[in-house]
Amino acid sequence: MAAVLFAGPRAILSHESAAILWRIRANGSTPATRRSPLDAIPIEVTVPSSGRHPIGLEVHRRNLPVEDRVVEAGIPVTTPTRTLIDLGTRLGEPELEAAVNEADKLDLVDPESLRLALDARAGTRGVAPLRKLLDQRTFALTDSALERRFLPLARRAKLARPRTGVRLNGFKVDFYWPDLGLVVETDGLRYHRTPGQQARDRRRDQAHVAAGLTALRFTHSQVAFEPELVVATLVAVAERLRRRMTIRPHDDVVRRASEA
């Protein structure tokens, strides 16, 4: 806090220092051995273009809009979104991905809102690599947009038009083929889903399987960027379900006996 105050009344913590304060970047020390998340690292601050240049700090001169500024733990600091954009100017993809993942797990940002915020900042340094990363990993679609992308894949797999948004076994499902007993859900609305979210997904799948249905999951990224995989999976599963439906009970007994 003293370092920020020393830099002037309009100075704010930024870049790596802001990321450490938000706990989306580590500085190599452990919580048990450091007095503050900012101990033992060069302090980075942003000051207005006309502000003073304090000695001993790493200073960035720029005029940040008010929506990029917030106070956390009594320290003026760039918002998590602005901090991630700043990290995009210097981190490689693996490190940037890790920072986004941490921000998501801490509920500082969610990738969908972050992606929308980037659209309003086109041309800002750091936006392009961050946008590329989000589009590759968590391509998020609205229900209507997802339907427009997924349904042509289902048609290519020779599936009839599914029922959408219906409730089955206590859960709303994305796509349902009653004739096949097939449910398709789509994931990826969070960058890395939390253990609680994953547990709810498992309970949902288990409820469908217990009711005799087949449940498939595709990520939004797969629907958007790996359509051939989606089509091939749908074809294989649909063929298996159709074969199962055409086997008479007696034929099934004979088949299993011959396999024994």
114-154 per-position pLDDT tens digit: 888 888 888 899 999 998 888 765 544 556 567 778 888 99
Is the pLDDT at 214 greater than 80, yes or no? yes
Please report the pLDDT score of residue 31 as a whole number.
33
Query: What distance in Å separates the CA atoms of residue 159 and residue 175, rounded to the nearest whole number?
Result: 11
- Per the structure block, which two tokens stand in for 201? 């997904």
Spatial separation of the C-alpha atoms in residues 216 and 49, rounded to whole Å: 54
Specify whether the CB–CB gap between 239 and 206 falls below 8 A.
no
Does residue 197 surpass a pLDDT of 80?
no
Strand-pair category, 214-219 with 182-187:
parallel
What's the one-letter identity of residue 149?
R
Average pLDDT of the chain, as a whole number: 79
Q: What percent of the chain has pLDDT over 70?
A: 74
Give the pLDDT mean for 190-206.
Answer: 73
pTM of this prediction?
0.53
How far is C-alpha 9 from the chain's CA centre?
36
> Is the model's pLDDT at 89 over the cut of 80?
yes
Give residue-wise pLDDT tens across range 20-53.
999 998 753 333 333 344 445 678 888 887 655 5
In single-letter form, the type of residue at position 220 comes to H
Phi, psi of 50 (to 5 degrees): -95, 5
Read off the pLDDT of residues 58-76 as tens digits, 9 standing for 90 and up: 778 888 888 999 999 888 9
